[in-house]
Structure 1
Amino acid sequence: MTTMDRVGQSVNRVEGGGKVTGAATYTADVVLPGQVHAALVQSEIPHGTVTADSLRASADRVAAAPGVLHVLTPLNCPPLHALPDDLTWDLPLERRPPLSDLTVQHVGQHMMLVVADTWENATAAAALVELDYEPLPATLDAHDVTEAPGGQDGPIRQGSYRPDHFVKLSEEKLQDRRGEPPTDGSVRMAARYTTPYNAHYPIELSATIAAWDGDRLTVHDSTRWIAGERAALAVYLGMSEDDVRVLAPLVGGAFGSKSFLWMHVVLCAVAAREVGRPVKLVLTRDQMFSSTGHRPRTEQDVVLIADDRGDILGTEHHTLTETSTVAHFCEPAGLSTRFLYQSPHLEVSHRTARINAPTPCFMRGPGEAPGLFALEVAIDELAHELGLDPLELRVRNHADRDQASGKPWSGKHLLDCYESGARRFGWADRPVTPRALRRDGVQVGWGMATATYPGRRMPASCRVVTAPDGTVQFASATHEVGNGVRTVMTQVAADATGLPLSSVSFESGDSDFPAAPYSGASQTTATVGSAVFAAASEWRRRVDELAGSSSPEDLLNVARAHHDRLSFVADSDAGDQEHEAFQSFGAHFCEVEVDEEIGRASVVRWVAVMDCGRVLNPKLARSQVMGGITFGLGMALLEQVPYDGETARMIGEYYLPTHADRPDFDVSFVDSTDYGLDPIGVRGIGEIGACGVPAAIANAIFHATGKRLRDLPITLENLMTPYRPPTSEEAR
Structure 2
Amino acid sequence: MALGPAAPRVGAPVNRVDGVAKVTGAARYTADTEMPGVVHAVLVGAEIARGQITAESMTESAARARAAPGVLGVLTPMNCPRLNPPPADFSETWPVERRPPLSDLSVHHVGQHVAVVIADSFENATYAASQFTLDYRQVATDDDAAVRSGSYWPDHWVEVADEKLQDRRGELTEPTVPVSVSGQYTTSATVPYPLELSATIARWDGDRLTVYDSTRWISGEKRLLAHCLDLPEPSVRVISPLVGGAFGAKVFLWSHVLLCAVAAREVGRPVKLVLTREQMFDTAGYRPRTEQEVTLLADADGAICSTAHHTVTETSLVADFCEPAGLSSRLLYHSPRLEVSHRVERVNVPTPSFMRAPGEASGLFALEVAMDELAEQVGVDPLELRIRNHTEIDESSGRPWLDKHLLDCYRSAADRFGWANRPPGVRSLRRSHVQVGWGMATATFPARRMTAGCRVTTGADGCVRFASATHEIGTGVRTVMTQLAADITGLPLSAVIFDSGDSSYPATPRSGASQTTATVGAAVAEAATQWRRRLSEVAPSAAPAVHSLVGLSPEQIAALTFSVTTSAKIDDDVSIRSFGAHFCEVEVDEYLGRAAVTRWTAAFACGPVLNPKLARSQLMGGITFGIGMALLEQISEDRASLRRGGEYYLPTHADRPDFDIEFTEKPVDYFPGPTLRGIGEIGIAGAPAAIANAIHHATGKRLRKLPITVEDLMMPVGPRR
Name the TM-score class by shorter chain. Answer: over 0.9
State which of 67, 89, 100 in structure 2 corresponds to 1:97.
Answer: 100
Maintained 8 Å contact 2:144/2:640: no
Task: Provide closer, same or farther for how the CA distance between residues 167 and 667 of structure 1 changes in structure 2, counting only shifts above 3 A.
Answer: same
Give the match for residue 592 of structure 2. 598
Partner of 1:153: none
1:669 aligns with 2:673: no
How big is the shift at 1:547?
Answer: 3.3
RMSD: 1.8
Distance 1:675 1:176, change over 3 A: farther
Instruction: Report the alpha carbon displacement of residue 654 of structure 1 after superposing the two structures with TM.
Output: 0.5
User: In 2, Cα distance between the equivalents of 1:3 and 1:573?
Assistant: 31
Matching of residue 171 in structure 1 with residue 162 in structure 2 = yes
The amino acid that maps onto 2:507 is: A
Partner of 1:580, secondary structure, is: coil
Cα distance 1:618–1:182, how it changes in 2: closer, same or farther (>3 A)?
same
1:516 counterpart letter in structure 2: T
Query: How many pairs align?
Result: 714
Partner Cα distance (1:447, 1:165) in 2 = 32
Q: Secondary structure at the match of 1:537?
A: helix
- Matched letter for residue 176 of structure 2: D
* Paired amino acid for 2:354: F
Mean Cα displacement is larger for which, 15-24 or 129-138?
A: 129-138
TM-superposed CA distance for 1:571, in Å, is 1.1
Aligned to 2:706: 712
Please show how residues 505-520 of structure 1 align to structure 2 within 5 Å.
505-520=497-512
Using a 3 Å threshold, how does the CA distance of structure 1 residues 230 and 564 change in structure 2: closer, same or farther? same
Tell me if structure 2 keeps the 8 A contact 1:140–1:356. no
Which residue of structure 2 aligns with residue 12 of structure 1? 15
SS at match of 1:354: strand
Alignment-mate amino acid for residue 189 of structure 1: V
1:348 to 310, 333, 340: 340
SS at match of 2:203: strand
Secondary structure of the residue aligned to 2:393 is: coil
The 1:190/1:555 distance shift into structure 2, 3 A limit, reads farther
Aligned position for 1:204: 196
Asked whether the equivalents of residues 473 and 505 of structure 1 are also in contact (C-alpha less than 8 Å), the reply is yes
- Counterpart of 2:630 in structure 1 is 636
One-letter code aligned to 1:79: R
Matched, 1:30 2:33: yes
Structure 1 distance, partners of 2:146, 2:393, is: 36
Structure 2 residue aligned with 1:154? none
1:162 aligns with 2:162: no
Out of 473, 479, 482, the position equivalent to 1:490 is: 482
Contact between 2:50 and 2:147, CA under 8 Å: does it hold in 1? no
> How far does the alpha carbon of each residue in 1:513-538 deviate from its partner, in whole angstroms, 9 at most, with x for none?
00100001000001000000000000
> What is the CA–CA distance in structure 1 between the aligned matches of 2:452 and 2:247, rounded to whole Å?
22
How far the C-alpha of 1:551 sits from its partner, in A, is 4.7
Question: Match of 1:610, as an amino acid?
Answer: F
Alignment of 1:274-353 (within 5 A): 274-353=266-345
Shift of the alpha carbon at 1:668?
1.0
Q: Matches of 1:235 and 1:464 in 2, distance apart?
A: 29
Displacement of 1:124 in angstroms is 1.0
Contact 2:7 2:491 in 1 (8 A): no
TM-superposed CA distance for 1:678, in Å, is 4.6
Question: In the alignment, which residue of structure 1 is the partner of 2:611?
Answer: 617
Query: How far apart, CA to CA, are the structure 2 residues paired with 1:673 and 1:185?
Result: 45
Distance in 1, matches of 2:85 and 2:259, equals 14
The aligned amino acid for 1:385 is Q
Partner SS, residue 296 of structure 2: strand
Partner SS for 2:212:
strand
Q: CA deviation at 1:671?
A: 1.2
CA positional deviation for 1:549: 4.8
Which residue identity does 2:662 align to in structure 1? S
> 2:351 maps to which residue?
359
User: Contact (CA 8 Å) 2:525, 2:671: kept in 1 or not?
Assistant: no
Give the distance between the partners of 1:456 and 1:676, measured in 2 at CA. 19
CA-to-aligned-CA distance 1:439-482 (integer Å, 9 cap, x gap): 02100000000000000000000000000011100000000000
For normalisation by structure 2, the TM-score amounts to 0.97
Report the alpha carbon displacement of residue 582 of structure 1 after superposing the two structures with TM: 1.2
1:407 equivalent in structure 2? 399
What is the rounded CA distance, in whole Å, between the counterparts of 1:314 and 1:511 in structure 2? 48
Report the TM-score when normalising by structure 1.
0.95
Deviations 1:468-517 (A, max 9, x none): 01110000000000000000001110111011111001010000100100
Q: In structure 2, do the counterparts of structure 1 residues 449 and 56 end up closer, same or farther at CA, with 3 Å as the change threshold?
A: same
Which range moves more in the overlay, 470-479 or 543-552?
Answer: 543-552
User: Offset of 1:19 from its aligned partner?
Assistant: 0.4
Cα shift at 1:675: 11
Q: What is the percent sequence identity of the aligned residues?
A: 63
SS of residue in 2 equivalent to 1:34: coil
> CA 1:607/1:94 → structure 2, altered by over 3 Å: closer, same or farther?
same
Structure 2 partner of 1:729: none
Task: Report deviation, 1:127.
Answer: 1.1
User: Partners of 2:143 and 2:460 in 1: how far apart?
Assistant: 62
| Aligned CA distance change for structure 1 residues 289 and 554 (closer, same or farther; 3 Å) | closer
The answer to whether the 8 A contact 2:110-2:350 is kept is: yes
Conservation of the 8 A alpha-carbon contact between 2:462 and 2:546: no
Q: Which residue of 2 aligns with 1:151?
A: none
Q: Is the 8 A contact 2:469 2:501 kept in 1?
A: yes
Q: Is the 8 A contact 2:495 2:546 kept in 1?
A: no
* Counterpart residue type for residue 44 of structure 1: E
Write out aligned runs for 1:546-585 (5 A).
Answer: 546-549=538-541, 551-553=543-545, 556-557=548-549, 560-561=552-553, 562-585=556-579
Separation (CA, whole Å) in 2 of partners of 1:410 and 1:555: 43
**Structure 1 residues 564, 331: closer, same or farther in 2, change over 3 A?**
same
Q: 1:226, 1:248 within 8 Å by CA — same for their partners in 2?
A: yes
Contact 2:309–2:339, Cα closer than 8 Å, also in 1: yes
**Is 28-37 or 134-143 further displaced after alignment?**
134-143
- 3-state SS of 1:320 partner: strand
Residue 127 of structure 1 corresponds to which residue in structure 2? 130
Partner of 2:414 in structure 1?
422
Q: Deviation string for 1:526-582 (max 9, x for gaps)?
A: 100000000000000001123335754388437744322200001101123322111
Letter in 2 for 1:234: A
> SS of the residue aligned with 1:520?
coil
Give the secondary structure class of the aligned counterpart of 2:10.
coil
